[in-house]
Amino acid sequence: MIKKIIFLLIICSLGSCGFEPVYVKKNEYQLSIKEITLIGDKKINRSIISFTNLKKINPTNGEYIVTITSEKRIEIVAKNKLGNASIYRTTIIVNLSLQNRDGDTKLKKFETAFSYNNLPNKFDLAQYQKTIEKNLIDIISEEIIIYLNT
């Protein structure tokens, strides 16, 4: 009986500690964006814009000019005895630039990578690479949201 009371008290005290999930305020940063410039891989840029929900809120009186530069690299990390690729690495690099009216610029680089083995079926390998790319874009988008919220 005492264990139940102690457990109940611990649960009640932890319930009011002020913990709040990061993504509850996903769309509350609301930067006053004047212009969004996208450079590099269109698929990556579109995915980031849709995931982070960046929009031009007030184009005439906007305070920030946002520039997103993205790049995707697929590299061969290792080869087998015959010289065929055995391990690949996909890297996605995104540079985010926030420039305010005064000309002050904040630059932030986001980079993620994932290594994986080669598959005998090239169609399966292409599908796997697309899945990896989507997951890496989601990771970078989450990092961008956290960066904009702080």
Predicted pLDDT of residue 146: 86
% of the chain at pLDDT higher than 90: 51
Answering whether pTM is above 0.85, one says: no
Q: Which residues contact 105 (CB under 8 A, 6 or more apart)?
A: 97, 98, 99
Domain assignments of the chain as residue spans, ordered by start: 32-149
Decide if 85 contacts 76 (C-beta within 8 A).
Answer: yes
Residue located via tokens 């790319």:
133
Q: Please, what CATH class does the domain formed by 32-149 belong to?
A: alpha beta
Q: Provide the pLDDT confidence category of residue 35 given band limits of 50, 70 and 90.
A: confident
Q: What's the rounded Cα separation, in Å, for the pair 89 and 87?
A: 7
Predicted pLDDT of residue 31: 66
pLDDT higher than threshold 90 for residue 96: yes
Q: Provide the pLDDT confidence category of residue 18 given band limits of 50, 70 and 90.
A: low
Predicted pLDDT of residue 61: 61
**Residue bearing the bigger pLDDT, 137 or 104:** 137
3-state SS, residue 143: helix
pLDDT higher than threshold 80 for residue 39: yes
pLDDT higher than threshold 90 for residue 104: no
